Amino acid sequence: MGNDGTGKVILVAGASSGIRACSGPLRSQGVRGHPPDRDPQRTAAADLTRYGTDHRVDVHAVELNVTSQDSADAAVDRILAERGRLDAVVHNAGHMVLGAAEAFTAEQFADLYDVNVLGTQRVNRAALPKLREQGSGLLVWIGSSSTRGGCPPFLAPYFAAKAATDALAVSYAAEVLPFGIDTAIVVPGAFTTGTNHFANVGAPADADCAEAYDQRHRPLTGDLSKRLAARSSLRTPM
């Protein structure tokens, strides 16, 4: 697609892991995507740039650390400077942890919330002034089926953060609607392929506590990603 200003400009937060799960439809529709990466040197950003070149798709990596308001502001400012507009924001950034809830420290919970929950707030504060000013836009929140019932064990910190984000999204939907900004909350199941969630999964800091649980639950946790993949493959497409 050419740079003639007629295409939609979409900021997709979450290029370092979750981008593969949601960027395909944007690419196939020829949408101008700006998926940020926490580290612009990471392979995900390089792969994204290569894809855009090979398939003549207007998609570019933008540096964005969702744990920094300055970084979020700079990313949005860069998009507006280069493209002159912003039409949608996809909240896809997040980090997963795996282990017994008790074995995670309060500080680990706080760090996870900082990425998965507060990160969306920082990006919103950077992007929404422009969307409100133009009287149009779309917020897309990539949630989790856990927020609609069913929270398997050993993912409690991640699911708790997703529940908080889901509540935030619902409240935002009513507040931004009068400004002409729509909201979509996507509730996917487990993505065991196409992302780096399980490859980069975080572990509890209290190793002794984690081992005590592992001795009782090892059959459940040893091949969790494989069993989730098997369950996903049995689902009937909607």
| Active site amino acids | 158
The alpha helices in 13-155, defined as continuous H runs, are: 19-28, 43-55, 69-83, 106-113, 119-134
Which runs of consecutive H residues, i.e. helices, occur in 146-198?
156-176
- Per-residue pLDDT tens over the stretch 122-176: 999 999 999 999 999 999 999 887 766 666 788 899 999 999 999 999 999 999 9
Global pTM value: 0.78
Contact (CB, 8 A) for 177 and 183: yes
> Which residues in the chain show pLDDT less than 70?
1-6, 15-45, 147-151, 189-200, 219-238
Distance, in Å, from the CA atom of 115 to the CA atom of 156, rounded to the nearest integer, reads 15
Residue range 9-234, CATH number: 3.40.50.720
